[in-house]
Amino acid sequence: MTGTGLELGLNSFGEVASDAGRTLSDAETLRLIVDEARLAETVGLDVFSVGEHYREGFNDSATPVLLAAIATATERIRLGTSVTVLSTNDPVRLYQEFATLDAVSHGRAQLVLGRASATESFPLFGYDLADYERLFEEKLDLFMRLQTEDAVTWSGTVRSPLVGQRLHPRMRPGGIPTWIGVGGNPNSVVRAAYYGLPLMLAIIGGRPQRFAGHVELYLRALQQFGHPVQPIGQHSLGLVADTDAEAVETWWRYWQPVVASIAAERGFYRPTRERYEAELDQGALFVGSPETVARKIAKVARDLRLNRFDLKYDILHLPREARTHTIELLGREVAPRVRELLAAERTYA
């Protein structure tokens, strides 16, 4: 805990790193991530989360397995996902995997469930993208019941029925912290509120403040559904370096080609230098010196009433030194500075 109610975390999508110009192998990258998580704990960060992807260069296809390796390399940091693609997972297997992770980590497991912005998992596991909504809806219902009920009887259209089913290993009573990740869809915000689950906003482009309406909607919906207030988190991309100039140039070199390829694939915005600078200044990129990034996080934390901020620090081929340095600076300099800024704001308020 940072002491102000704002938790700081790291997200990795298992993206291959480079070392002195050489691209690391998938396996080397996975071992690097375990070291990075260990470092995150050492520098005092609160949460380490990994995503779930099925494409070249991304090594997070078996999320709970990677987290379990981190679990025995750490003692305190909480271990989660960013996000688990519930739609193409089996809630039963997922329960078993996270119950096991929770055991191996002495109760540090949590997860963020989402529908994913990449679609590779649908054909890979034999699902139809046309069922996107229904898959998530039904599986969320089943997953929450598995976590809260002892023996579950369930039937639906996206999976075979269960009759008085108990799962093993048993999860801790009440289940593990489960967040809903949303990319901007108001229906998803309302669904999170309906279940009374914490909300993780994935803000990967544009002004984060435009999500203020979602936050209002979420808090109002929670109240209407009769649930207590739940934590709100933000996931965004970025890099921390010793100076603004160094951070801005390093990130540009690795971010530009990635966004260019997503732009071609998903009709995302084109990564022009102008757009990049706008993202740095007012947008969703948290790139800069510790002071710059701390100010930006503190501002958005206040504007969006955040309880948690996760920085996604890896991007394809980013040198391992830059990744390591981001983690060190985030824990040792950004976190205390954010704490200071938020405390000062409270004093003036």
Binders in 125-144 for other proteins, by CB under 8 A: 125-127
13 near other proteins, judged by CB under 8 A: no
Print the binding letters for residues 58-87 with other proteins: x by CB under 8 A, - otherwise: xx-xx-xxxxxxxxxx--------------
Q: Which residue, 102 or 310, has its beta carbon nearer to other proteins?
A: 102
Taking CB under 8 A as the rule, does residue 306 contact other proteins?
Answer: no
Cβ-proximal residues to 187 (8 Å cutoff; 6+ apart), any chain: none
Residue 58 CB, nearest approach to other proteins (Å):
7
Residue 76's closest CA among 106, 31, 32, 113?
106
Which residue in the set 7, 15, 102, 138 belongs to the binding site for other proteins (CB under 8 A)? 102
Which residues contact residue 134 at a Cβ distance below 8 angstroms, ignoring those fewer than 6 apart? 157, 158
Q: Which stretch binds other proteins (CB under 8 A): 27-35, 177-185, 229-237, 269-277?
A: 27-35
The answer to whether 258 contacts other proteins (rule: CB under 8 A) is no
d(CA 101, CA 66): 10
| Lookup result for tokens 């055991």 | 103
Contact letters (x/-) for other proteins, 150-169, by CB under 8 A? Answer: ---------xx-x--xxxxx
- Shortest distance (Å) from residue 102 CB to other proteins: 7
Which CB sits closer to other proteins, 14 or 114?
14
Q: For other proteins, give the closer residue by CB, 169 or 213.
A: 169
Binder of other proteins out of 10, 30, 152, 298 (CB under 8 A) = 30
- Quick one: 159 or 227, whose CB is closer to other proteins? 159
In angstroms, give the least distance from the CB of 107 to other proteins.
8
Of the candidates 300, 288, 302, 280, which has an alpha carbon nearest to the alpha carbon of residue 334? 288
Between 31 and 60, how does the x/- string for binding to other proteins read (CB under 8 A)? x--x-------------------xxxxxx-
Determine which residue in the list 3, 22, 129, 170 makes contact with other proteins, applying CB under 8 A: 170
- Amino acid of residue 251: W
Question: Considering beta carbons, is residue 168 or 273 the nearer one to other proteins?
Answer: 168
What is the binding site for other proteins (CB under 8 A)? 14, 25-31, 34, 54-59, 61-62, 64-73, 90, 92-93, 96-97, 99-104, 106-107, 123-127, 159-160, 162, 165-170, 172
